[in-house]
A and B are shown apart, each in its own frame.
Chain A
Amino acid sequence: MNCLECRRELMIDPRNETVELITHVNACPACSKEREKLLALEDALESSLNVNVPAGLESRVLEISRDENFTVKSSSSPFGGHVWQMAAGLFLAIGLVVYLGLNQYYPISNAHALEVAVLNHIVDERHELHGSNEINQDTYGNIMTAISTQTTGDIGKVNFASKCQIRKNAGAHLITSGEKGPVTVLVMPGEHIDKNVKISSSRFDGTIYSTVYGSLAVVGEKGEHILPIADRMLQYIVPANS
């Protein structure tokens, strides 16, 4: 190995310890010095990149993965054979009939399903939580109009606004700021529930409110005081024809 090849190798990986390279470095003071400089840079780089990891990261990842489990569609079916698949299908059909029957008497199931859908939606779209641009009233006003609602007063600073789909209905996804961080507001026309539903997960706290047009979810970080925000939203987001 000559000096040129050695320098080239060092620039690719200063920690390279092939016999050929080490032999050359040991015999060549100039390349040895170059290697020392590059190794020092390497150590400094490593130190620079080695930031502290937030406490509890693993448990939060595991928690959110568990929250998501119900939406995960595993490609490996526990039912291997054809007969098992038919039996499973029949079992599901009976379950569905029972569920639909029960649902007439226990509409809270619908509320629970909506709670799950709301949390799912927030988790799926959580990269939007960090938006810091103020969205002007015209922009979110157009979104509200598109879902047959309107704002009749100041709902506060909106950092993100988008039309979205929650379950089968079109809705509006707004993000505003709370005391503990971003607060998600989901306006869900057509999603009627009989009573307000509390939402609580490892990361989020909130409530789905029953409204005349459907429902409205206000969800913030754990421990967020959502009431003042919810009051504003419930007061100023109304059906378009009001």
Chain B
Amino acid sequence: MDMKAKQKHFETLVESFSSELYRFGYGLCHNSAQAEDLVQETFLRAWKSFDKLREANSARAWLYTILRRENARIYERQRPEARDPESLPEVAVRGSDTSVEGLVLRKQLNELKVEYREPLMLQVLAGFSTEEIGVIMNISTNAVMTRLSRARRLLREALQQEKTQQTVGVL
């Protein structure tokens, strides 16, 4: 691929996938500036390794894989309190469901361990299959299915518990 074609292909990827990568990044770090940096870093890394991309069809999953790695490299080493979404100004997530149920759900989702939250986001937000999630996360399809199932169970339990507490509060 000559440089012009490569740049054109790269620009198409940026235009096609920036938004969804941002949302995934936001779901991982809960901070808009960090999520934007993650997207930029992801595309920079992608550009630098662009020649390794053999099949155009696999570009999307490849970009998610890079973003995950960048998040781990850059932000997961930060102190947990610096990543607490409730201590960040971006906690009121712009554009998302702002109902009480929505806030409770987001809180519970953020409290899920990243090993459960990630496959759930990759499925719900990005629409990847369990096989594709396995490739992105470098785990087996069976492990993905177990994590998805456990993530939903934990979420439901947490929501149920929250609902019970609210009912008790009202009574």
Binding site for B on A (CB under 8 A): 8, 11-14, 38, 41-42, 44-54, 57-58, 60-62, 64-65, 68-69, 72-76, 78, 123, 126-127, 129-130, 132
Contact = CB atoms under 8 A, between A and B. Distances in A.
A64 B18 CA distance: 13
B18 A53 contact: yes
Q: Give chain A's interface secondary structure class.
A: helix
A132 B155 CA distance: 32
Contact of B19 (A45, A49, A53, A60): A53
Contacts of A44: 97, 101-102, 105
Interface of B: 1-3, 6, 10-11, 14-15, 18-19, 22-23, 26-27, 31-34, 36-37, 39-41, 43-44, 47-48, 50-52, 74-75, 82, 93-97, 101-102, 105-106, 109, 120-121, 123-125, 130, 145, 148-149, 152-153, 155-156, 159
Nearest to A72: B48
B149 A8 contact: yes
A54 B105 contact: no
A31 to B, nearest CB: 15
Contact of B125 (A50, A52, A57): A50
Nearest to A50: B96
Given A46-B124, A52-B95, A72-B48, A62 B11 contact: yes
